[in-house]
């Protein structure tokens, strides 16, 4: 479409390629597709035979199926997962008829109706019905703050041989003038999503600190704060050099909270309400290179004289 071509003109080349499967796709919400692309759901489906014919001409062996507005609509209400599966089954059967294997399933959510329960059920049922599908693509808008939780729910279902492709944007910025939520529509903030994956032990190859810098640069360009959280609170401090100063003053604003990256100057002059410096035997252990707590069979703090529940 012309919109896709315009987007390509302003997009840098990616180091990974999006899936190249020819795909049968349809919006579950007939109203949204009329507002967005000036066509009807029926017109989308009428194009399916053309997509299949082109795939046959190119001797393509693998294809995809997909829905958009998969779980609900601001104009029509919620859609049960049964409805989504019925639409995917119809698409799958058309590929089956011409002997082209289906390897990918795509589910989009432009109006932020995704929930972890619905996404998990949908991905599970796709895999249960068609185990040979090993590529799942999710386009989850975040207007109701469910995109990252829904992505996590999808990860729980998939196996090590599956690929999950998730769309996101730095800072979670984005919008949709067609769905009624405007800028609030947003996307999953890339930095928040990757931070979650890093904590799950999934290697991403992305420097979160540099990604935060990108978010801050985008906020300056756009003249407003964006919607992500890691860019404001910072990644979880897990190493000694990242831990916060226990005697810092009050940190009340998002600008002061940037101390995680710019240093204590961010909160210089802040309110200091304590009559004496904050101390902690736990932090003393951490500063000495030990853990804050021993395990349940250890000594600290469980067997210390000052610990009221010592064994």
Which pLDDT belongs to residue 39? 95
Instruction: Kindly provide the residue ranges of all beta strands, DSSP E only, lying in the chain, ordered along the sequence.
Output: 23-27, 62-68, 72-73, 77-78, 101-109, 135-140, 163-166
| Among 83, 73, 211, CA closest to 143 | 73
Angle between helices 147-157 and 190-199 (to 10 degrees): 40
Q: 223 in helix, strand or coil? A: coil
At 120-136, the pLDDT tens digits run: 999 999 999 999 999 99
Which pLDDT belongs to residue 18? 63
pTM: 0.89
DSSP code for 105: E
Instruction: DSSP for 151-201, please give it.
Output: HHHHHHH--TT-EEEE--BGGG---BTTTT-BGGG-B-BHHHHHHHHHHTT
Which pLDDT belongs to residue 296? 85
Residue 7 contacts residue 48 (beta carbons within 8 Å):
no
- List the structure tokens of 46: 């009428």
Q: What stretches of 98-168 show up as alpha helix (H) in DSSP?
A: 116-129, 147-157
Q: What's the gap between Cα 44 and its chain centre?
A: 27
- pLDDT band, very low/low/confident/very high, at 4 (cuts 50, 70, 90): low
Mean per-residue pLDDT, 203-226: 95
Q: Where are the domains of the chain?
A: 2-188, 241-279, 280-311
Percent of the chain at pLDDT exceeding 70: 94
For the cut 60, the answer to whether the pLDDT of residue 16 exceeds it is no
DSSP code for 113: -
Topology (CATH level 3) of domain 2-188: TIM Barrel (3.20.20)
| Among 235, 254, 251, CA closest to 243 | 235
Mean per-residue pLDDT, 183-204: 94
């Amino acid at each position: 479409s012309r919109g896709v071509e315009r987007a390509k003109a302003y997009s840098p080349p990616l180091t990974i390629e999006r899936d190249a499967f020819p795909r049968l796709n349809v919006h579950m919400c007939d109203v949204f597709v009329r507002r967005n692309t000036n066509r009807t759901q029926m017109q989308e489906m009428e194009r399916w035979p053309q997509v299949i014919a082109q795939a046959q001409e190119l001797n393509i062996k693998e294809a995809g199926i997909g829905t958009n507005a998969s779980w609900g609509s601001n104009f029509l209400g919620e859609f049960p997962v049964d409805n989504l599966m019925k639409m995917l089954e119809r698409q799958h059967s058309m590929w089956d008829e011409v002997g082209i294997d289906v390897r990918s399933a795509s589910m989009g959510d432009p109006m932020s109706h995704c929930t972890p329960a619905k996404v998990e059920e949908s991905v599970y049922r796709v895999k249960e019905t068609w185990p040979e599908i090993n590529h799942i693509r999710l386009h989850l808008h975040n207007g109701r703050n469910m995109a990252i939780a829904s992505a996590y729910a999808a990860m729980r279902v998939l196996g090590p041989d599956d690929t999950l492709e998730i769309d996101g944007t730095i800072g979670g910025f984005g919008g949709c003038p067609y769905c009624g939520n405007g800028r609030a529509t947003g996307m999953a903030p890339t930095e928040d999503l990757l931070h979650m994956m890093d904590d799950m032990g999934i290697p991403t190859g992305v420097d979160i600190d540099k990604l935060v810098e990108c978010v801050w640069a985008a906020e300056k360009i756009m003249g407003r704060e964006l919607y992500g959280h890691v860019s404001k609170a910072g990644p979880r401090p897990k190493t000694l050099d990242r831990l916060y100063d226990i005697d810092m003053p009050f940190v009340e604003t998002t600008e002061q909270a940037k101390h995680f990256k710019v240093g204590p100057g961010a909160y210089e002059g802040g309110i200091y309400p304590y009559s004496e410096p904050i101390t902690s035997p736990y932090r003393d252990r951490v500063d000495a290179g030990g853990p804050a707590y021993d395990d349940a069979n250890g000594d600290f703090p469980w067997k210390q004289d000052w610990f009221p529940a010592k064994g």
